[in-house]
């Protein structure tokens, strides 16, 4: 029989541990700390699907709680180091039969009856409208004749590529739109002072990023889920990330937004039907590409004129489409819906909203698609930006779009004169310019932004301000990473993933250890090293790396 010798100090420590393991609890008896109505903690769904939903809701709440616009936009990209796998939507590349996808992914109802809403009949009286048309008509006719004659001479001198019909049409349209915009601004500014205050941007950078839910999962996601504890949820509808890129001919911005056409409550009318499109967007011609989600309305945060009045867009891609498609009007609607929604969404992001935090007031824009002769007018009202997960079907709000269809400004040019000039087209255009932006009294335009810090430029800490400004601009530039993500060769997919016939091979790549590039966060990298001579505390300072300010 062996005896164990105990150190008396060890016994004391053991006694102390046991003593401190005891806890006493007392109930609150003070009346002022008790409420008449019982307060219960929130009950969370502990199922696998419920845990994922709770995780996403916390992420959305974290975005809402941030103070500045740039931090909110950076936070959306934090889960992905190499960017999100997005549906790449380009303004000038419209696949066949894409109208349903455009409406569903933006939750837009296109009003069937052609024509702008009755709201535009009250903008300018008929007498003033006729007078304005007569003021600008002669100048616009001269500009159209001059540009067509110049275009013909350039074509004869081979300064314009005659084979590239799309580029020639867009070049002609850009010149005419620029001249017509200049004439209308110069003529109507005396009676419409808001045109003097408007900012004109030529070929701005328009980008928008959002989640669109309610789509059937692709096969690789179904197979991946079937191998995990989410097997019974493998066939559930999934979200798609969409990244829009566009470049209008020009756009007009103002300090105040346009008046709403309908109220938010009216946008919940069930008669405003949004068609369903649950297929993979690749089936109609869209492709997938990795991007950091960017929302840019053509200017940086902090610009005084942050609300759009109207924008002009090209239609050269319509003339370049195959004649067998016979979908000119549908393609124009797709272009207008994506362009209008994306511009308004990026403006809403600069007010503190996002694809996860819905609008508290509507935003309106006016879109014109033209090549100088054919003109299409659209009025678009953004009522909601939340359409991910269950909100794709349960969100009662709809975004609304009104259209006129293609209208001819003139029939043709014969003997140096315009034939069949249409004053009604000019009236529609003047109504867009006459729509006056107004300040919305009693409405908090930035409910999710900080009181003192709304933009990064408002941050008082100079180091943090400069760091966020630099890294935000780098993120939205979408430059490729210094070290590209790890690729999987086809022989590895066949012999190691699909059929696993080479299980004895040594593992050399990260994905073989279960570490995919999608699991790496944006802030998962080595911080910047500070040389000894530049350290704020001297060469012997223990602070070797610069501080980061990721949201």
| pLDDT tens by residue, 161-217 | 555 778 888 888 999 999 999 999 999 998 899 999 999 999 999 999 999 999 999
pLDDT of residue 1: 44
Question: Per DSSP, what are the bridge partners of residue 202?
Answer: 250
For a pLDDT cut of 70, what percent of the chain falls above it?
Answer: 92
Q: Determine, yes or no, domain membership for 111.
A: yes
Judged against a pLDDT cut of 70, whether residue 284 lies above it is answered with yes
pLDDT digits (tens, 9 = 90+) for 206-245: 999 999 999 999 998 998 899 888 899 999 999 999 999 9
Range of the domain at 146: 71-434
Judged against a pLDDT cut of 60, whether residue 416 lies above it is answered with yes
> What is the C-alpha separation between 334 and 349, in angstroms, rounded?
22
> What is the C-alpha separation between 147 and 314, in angstroms, rounded?
17
Judged against a pLDDT cut of 50, whether residue 20 lies above it is answered with no
pLDDT of residue 482: 85
pLDDT of residue 163: 56
Mapped onto helix, strand or coil, the DSSP state of residue 304 is: coil
Mean pLDDT of 114-143: 93
**Unique residue bearing structure tokens 């944006």:** 522
Q: Determine, yes or no, domain membership for 274.
A: yes
> Of the candidates 346, 342, 337, which has an alpha carbon nearest to the alpha carbon of residue 369?
337
Q: Determine, yes or no, domain membership for 477.
A: no
Q: Determine, yes or no, domain membership for 54.
A: no
> What is the C-alpha separation between 188 and 135, in angstroms, rounded?
9
For a pLDDT cut of 90, what percent of the chain falls above it?
Answer: 70
Q: Determine, yes or no, domain membership for 458.
A: no
Query: 64 near 448, Cβ under 8 Å?
Result: yes
> What is the C-alpha separation between 213 and 210, in angstroms, rounded?
10
Q: How many structural domains does the chain have?
A: 1
Q: Determine, yes or no, domain membership for 179.
A: yes
408: part of which helix (H) or strand (E)?
A: strand 407-408
Mapped onto helix, strand or coil, the DSSP state of residue 374 is: strand
Mapped onto helix, strand or coil, the DSSP state of residue 139 is: helix
Judged against a pLDDT cut of 50, whether residue 14 lies above it is answered with no
**Unique residue bearing structure tokens 């994922």:** 52
Q: Determine, yes or no, domain membership for 134.
A: yes
pLDDT of residue 42: 84
pLDDT digits (tens, 9 = 90+) for 487-541: 899 999 999 988 889 989 998 888 888 888 888 899 999 999 999 999 988 888 8
Mean pLDDT of 290-298: 96
Compute the CA torsion angle 299, 302, 307, 309 (nearest 10 deg): -50
CA distances from 80 to 178, 237, 247, 550 (A): 41, 22, 26, 13
Q: Determine, yes or no, domain membership for 56.
A: no
pLDDT of residue 17: 42
pLDDT of residue 516: 82
Please classify residue 52 by burial: count the beta carbons closer than 10 Å to its beta carbon, then call 0-12 exposed, 13-18 middle and 19+ buried.
middle
Query: 346 near 295, Cβ under 8 Å?
Result: yes
Judged against a pLDDT cut of 60, whether residue 278 lies above it is answered with yes
> Of the candidates 98, 116, 115, which has an alpha carbon nearest to the alpha carbon of residue 331?
98
pLDDT of residue 447: 95
pLDDT of residue 154: 61
């Amino acid at each position: 029989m062996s005896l164990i010798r105990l150190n008396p100090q060890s016994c004391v420590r053991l006694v102390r541990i046991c003593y401190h393991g005891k806890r006493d609890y007392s109930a609150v008896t003070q009346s002022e700390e008790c409420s008449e109505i019982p307060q219960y903690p929130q009950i969370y769904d502990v199922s696998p699907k419920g845990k994922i939903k709770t995780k996403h809701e916390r992420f959305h709440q974290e975005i809402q709680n941030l103070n500045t616009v740039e931090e909110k936009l950076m936070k959306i990209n934090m889960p992905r180091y190499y960017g999100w796998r997005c549906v790449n939507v380009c303004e000038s590349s419209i696949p066949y039969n894409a109208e349903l996808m455009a409406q569903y992914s933006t939750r837009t109802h296109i009003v069937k009856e052609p024509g702008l809403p009755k709201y535009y009949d009250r903008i300018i009286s008929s007498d003033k409208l006729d007078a304005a048309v007569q003021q600008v008509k002669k100048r616009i006719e001269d500009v159209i004749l001059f540009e067509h004659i110049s275009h013909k001479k350039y074509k004869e001198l081979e300064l314009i590529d005659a084979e590239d019909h799309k580029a020639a049409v867009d070049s002609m349209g850009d010149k005419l739109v620029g001249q017509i915009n200049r004439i209308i601004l110069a003529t109507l500014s005396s009676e419409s002072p808001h045109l003097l205050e408007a900012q004109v941007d030529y070929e701005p950078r328009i980008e928008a990023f959002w989640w669109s839910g309610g789509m059937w999962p692709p096969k690789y996601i179904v197979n991946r889920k079937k191998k995990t504890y989410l097997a019974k949820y493998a066939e559930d509808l999934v979200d798609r990330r969409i990244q829009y890129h566009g470049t209008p001919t020009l756009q007009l911005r103002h300090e105040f937004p346009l008046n709403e056409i309908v109220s938010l409550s009216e946008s919940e009318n069930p008669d405003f039907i949004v068609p369903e499109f649950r297929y993979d967007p690749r089936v109609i011609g869209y492709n997938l590409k990795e991007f950091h989600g960017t929302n840019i309305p053509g200017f940086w945060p902090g610009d005084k004129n942050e609300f759009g009045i109207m924008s002009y867009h090209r239609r050269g891609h319509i003339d370049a489409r195959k004649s067998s498609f016979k979908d000119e009007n549908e393609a124009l609607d797709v272009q207008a819906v994506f362009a209008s929604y994306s511009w308004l969404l990026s403006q809403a992001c600069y007010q503190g909203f996002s694809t996860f935090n819905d609008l508290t007031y509507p935003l309106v824009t006016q879109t014109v698609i033209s090549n100088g002769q054919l003109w299409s007018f659209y009025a678009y009202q953004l009522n909601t930006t939340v359409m991910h997960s269950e909100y794709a079907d349960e969100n009662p709000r709809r975004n609304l779009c009104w259209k006129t269809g293609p209208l001819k400004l003139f029939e043709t040019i014969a003997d140096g004169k315009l034939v069949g000039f249409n004053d009604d087209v000019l009236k529609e255009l003047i109504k867009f310019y006459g729509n006056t932006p107004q300040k919305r009294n009693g409405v908090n335009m930035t409910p999710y932004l900080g009181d003192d810090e709304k933009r990064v430029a408002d941050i008082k800490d100079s180091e943090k301000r400069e760091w966020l400004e630099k890294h935000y601009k780098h993120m939205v530039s979408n430059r490729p990473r210094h070290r590209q993500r790890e690729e999987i060769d086809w022989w590895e997919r066949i012999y190691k993933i699909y059929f696993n016939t080479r299980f004895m091979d040594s593992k050399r790549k990260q994905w073989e250890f279960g570490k995919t590039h999608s699991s790496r966060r944006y802030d998962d990298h080595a911080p910047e090293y500070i040389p000894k001579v530049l350290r704020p505390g001297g060469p012997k300072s223990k602070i070797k790396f610069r501080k980061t300010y990721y949201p």
